[in-house]
Amino acid sequence: MRFKRRLKRELFLKTIELTPLIDCVFLLLIFFMLTSSFVLVPGINVKLPKAVTSQRLTFQRVVIVITSEDIIYLKNKPVTLKELFDTLKKERVEVVLIKADRDASLGRVVEVWDICRKLGIEKIGIATTYRRE
């Protein structure tokens, strides 16, 4: 009789309680959900064209954004071509990156490109997304 009681007690001690384990898992899940950051990048929404031969630029640059409605943004502010020319001339910019929406007119992109070339800016890049073949 004593032998059976001892086996029951040892069997009870060897089982793993799942309730505290599930509690710990839920606490960890809640912790990671609350501490993870969901970052929304503010800015102008542009759909960049895709290119196979693209490079990553590593130096400081001025970013000019052209939307699908042909609106030009410099430092997240809409500007006219004249204001763009004056700002780039005043700041003596050396490197420009043009982020043009794929639906933006080619004429607007060429106008911005010409302004940069008039100011003597030789390093002009066009932003694209990388497309694997």
Task: Give the three-state DSSP class for 65.
Answer: strand
Q: pTM, whole model, 2 decimals?
A: 0.56
φ, ψ dihedrals at 104, nearest 5°: -70, 150
- Identify the residue with better confidence: 25 or 55: 25
Residues 23 and 54 in one domain: no
Residue 111 domain-assigned (yes or no): yes
Q: Which of 37-46, 50-59, 92-101 has the highest mean pLDDT?
A: 92-101
Q: How confident is the model at residue 28 (pLDDT cuts 50, 70, 90)?
A: very high
HSE-up (13 A, CA, CB side) for residue 10: 6
Contact 78, 105 (CB under 8 A): no
Domain with residue 91: its CATH number is: 3.30.420.270
Inform me whether the pLDDT recorded for 119 exceeds 70. Answer: yes
Residues 96 and 72 in one domain: yes
Residue 40 domain-assigned (yes or no): no
Domain that holds residue 63: 50-130
Inform me whether the pLDDT recorded for 90 exceeds 60. Answer: yes
Residue 42 domain-assigned (yes or no): no
Residues 24 and 87 in one domain: no
Please report the pLDDT score of residue 76 as a whole number: 85
